[in-house]
Chain A
Amino acid sequence: MAPTPPDDHASDRRNLDWYVDRGMRWIVTVGGVSAIVFIIGIFAFVTREGFPFLFDGFEAGEFFGSPAWRPTSEPNPTYGALALIAGTASVTGLAVLSAVPFSLGAAIYIAEFATGRTREVLKVLVELLAAIPSVVWGFIGLSMMNPLIIAIFDVPVGLNVLNAGLILGLMAAPIMTTIAEDALKAVPDAYREAGEAMGATRWQVTMRVVLPAAKNGLMAAVLLGVGRGFGETMAVLMASGHSINLPTSPFDSVRALTATIAAELGETAVGSEHYQALFTLGMLLFAVTFSINLAADLFVRGVRRG
């Protein structure tokens, strides 16, 4: 038998409900902590796999300054990631340029102008857009946009920055719209009422009162869209042309960091220098997306405090 509990009341409470409470509390805590464990675990794994390369074979000048990504060249492999970084940057940049006007427009309409059924239907549709698998987007880029771009712009191949950028813009737009709409909704109605009471039109209220009040949240929306674009793999792999180039026009084919990892990792001997170099690309991606998300989070916090 267990020793007599010091407190009678405490032992009274140890019925089924007490155990359920304790158990559930424990499970929920594990769930909460697991996010931290996973993120640290992933970071440790990616770093561990890529680390040997950083000390042996890694030359920052070559990595960031040379476009020559020739990891399988014998006997002198070169690991220049400049073209890959430029590829990712150009595609993401174009994606943001094309997605921002549409998603801000959509968010403003849904939050400020649409009412009743229209609003609900639009919200659901935008969320549905976010649920389309990226390989389907890639397929659209490959089989629809490719011939279209060739026909319209008279270029030899339609798999390029323009194609991947537009596809990625479409993919990032629903996320931007949803978060931007939340940011607009977070602006207190009193602001709008005050504006309207002073005789401002609906549009004037939106432009001069609501948008400035929501600017941090809108910034976060754009940043999270950028993060989405930066990390996207499949659609970019399919639509960008997968070609090592420093792009000088939207019609150049490029290759993204993510696509390079996806295309090469499966056929690389585990632990080889090439494998480690790919993980170094992974570290770079991780660092950038982490900074973007952190920045977005700080902006949102700015909103809550303000």
Chain B
Amino acid sequence: MRSSIVAVLISILTACGAPQSQQGGEATTGGRVVIQNKGSDTLVNVAQAWAEAYKQVDPNVAVAVTGGGSGTGISAMINGTVDLASSSRKMTEKELQAASARGVTPIEHVVGFDALAIFLHPNNPISEITLQQLASIYGEGGTAEKWADLGVKVPGCDSDEIVRVSRQNNSGTYVYFKEAVLGEKEYKLGSRDMHGSKDVVDLVENTPCAIGYSGLAYANEHVKMPCVKKEDGAACVMASEQTAKDGSFPIARPLFMYTAGEPTGALKSYLDWVMSDVGQCIIMDKGYASARDVTCPG
């Protein structure tokens, strides 16, 4: 709600400042160009870092970043209220239809990669986990309810219940985990649905019985990350920038920026800069993998 109010305020402000051109989208205020960037909470930290750094590159361009979720950003891009939608998932069929109904051709830009790490309490003896096991923990009809079902005993978890920590149902992370791990199945009801990646890590950190998932960037030293196997015989891969980018980590996803039509002018320069060495080092610095190979200083 708050972010949509902010978005409304911003769009009112920019609308007052200068006429908003329909094609490129970005508004110019006295020679200064404002690019509106809205969307994924996963990407919001990176998007803000990019916007901040871009001030030095082109002082005449200001990038206004708001979060709100991938879906919010994409619908704002379709409606023409923002120039750039950041998203942690691909656009859905429904969204593509909505776009073509409004005569908008969304252009997809892969700006980096994220690995969905699995988090366990440090007490948990599990060091590798298969996608099938994850599906039987999180998926509807899955049989794993107790840690004993996975053949382990977790010290400090007397009830032996698997406490499933998940995300609220409109986060890109939630949608991607469902797609990559559960496939066609639904989530089991009764998971603790946290309102941010950091909350997931916090709860897992304090709960011996818990298991959770979140972007790799949110990992810390108080939680344990098991390696993940695609199927039983496959190699067990640790979540890392490297394994996310080369595709060997089974639950890694590309991160997107969407524009309405081919970007032009200031928007194009901004996206080109995001894909440059400097831009890509910023996303790596935030704990994600870059979209292409770069060597960063320090």
Given contacts A74-B94, A263-B195, A264-B170, contact A269 B75 (CB under 8 A): yes
Residues in chain B near residue A72, CB distance under 8 A: 169-170, 174-175
State the interface size on chain A (CB cutoff 8 A).
35
- State the Cβ distance, A284 to closest chain B Cβ, in Å: 18
CB closest chain-A residue, reference B166:
A243
Residues in chain B near residue A268, CB distance under 8 A: 71-72, 170
Q: Are A154 and B158 in contact (CB under 8 A)?
A: yes
- State the Cβ distance, A62 to closest chain B Cβ, in Å: 14
Given contacts A156-B208, A265-B1, A266-B69, contact A243 B191 (CB under 8 A): yes
- State the Cβ distance, B87 to closest chain A Cβ, in Å: 12
B187 at the A interface (CB under 8 A): yes
What residues make up the interface of B, taking CB atoms closer than 8 Å to A?
1-4, 68-69, 71-72, 74-75, 92-94, 157-159, 161, 163, 168-171, 174-175, 186-187, 189-195, 203, 206-210
CB closest chain-A residue, reference B159:
A156
What residues make up the interface of A, taking CB atoms closer than 8 Å to B?
67-74, 83, 146-147, 154-157, 159, 237, 241-245, 253, 255, 262-270, 272, 274
Q: Are B4 and A266 in contact (CB under 8 A)?
A: yes
Q: Are B175 and A242 in contact (CB under 8 A)?
A: no
CA A226 – CA B169 in complex, angstroms? 29
CB closest chain-A residue, reference B179:
A74
A contacts with B: majority SS: loop
Residues in chain A near residue B158, CB distance under 8 A: 154
CA A253 – CA B158 in complex, angstroms? 18
Residues in chain A near residue B163, CB distance under 8 A: 156-157
Q: Are B194 and A245 in contact (CB under 8 A)?
A: no
CB closest chain-A residue, reference B39:
A267
CA A74 – CA B187 in complex, angstroms? 12
Residues in chain A near residue B189, CB distance under 8 A: 67-69, 83, 244-245
Pick the 8 closest A-B CB pairs, nearest first: A267-B69, A269-B75, A156-B209, A267-B170, A72-B169, A244-B189, A243-B192, A266-B1
Q: Are A255 and B71 in contact (CB under 8 A)?
A: no
- State the Cβ distance, A169 to closest chain B Cβ, in Å: 22
Q: Are B68 and A266 in contact (CB under 8 A)?
A: yes
Residues in chain A near residue B192, CB distance under 8 A: 157, 159, 241-243, 253
Q: Are A269 and B209 in contact (CB under 8 A)?
A: no
Residues in chain B near residue A67, CB distance under 8 A: 189
Residues in chain B near residue A69, CB distance under 8 A: 189
CA A278 – CA B189 in complex, angstroms? 18
Given contacts A154-B159, A156-B209, A264-B168, 4 further A-B contacts (CB under 8 A): A72-B175, A156-B210, A269-B75, A272-B75
CB closest chain-B residue, reference A77:
B169
CA A253 – CA B161 in complex, angstroms? 13
Residues in chain A near residue B2, CB distance under 8 A: 266
Residues in chain B near residue A155, CB distance under 8 A: 159
Q: Are A70 and B207 in contact (CB under 8 A)?
A: no
CA A102 – CA B209 in complex, angstroms? 35
CA A253 – CA B3 in complex, angstroms? 28
Q: Are A255 and B207 in contact (CB under 8 A)?
A: no
- State the Cβ distance, B282 to closest chain A Cβ, in Å: 25
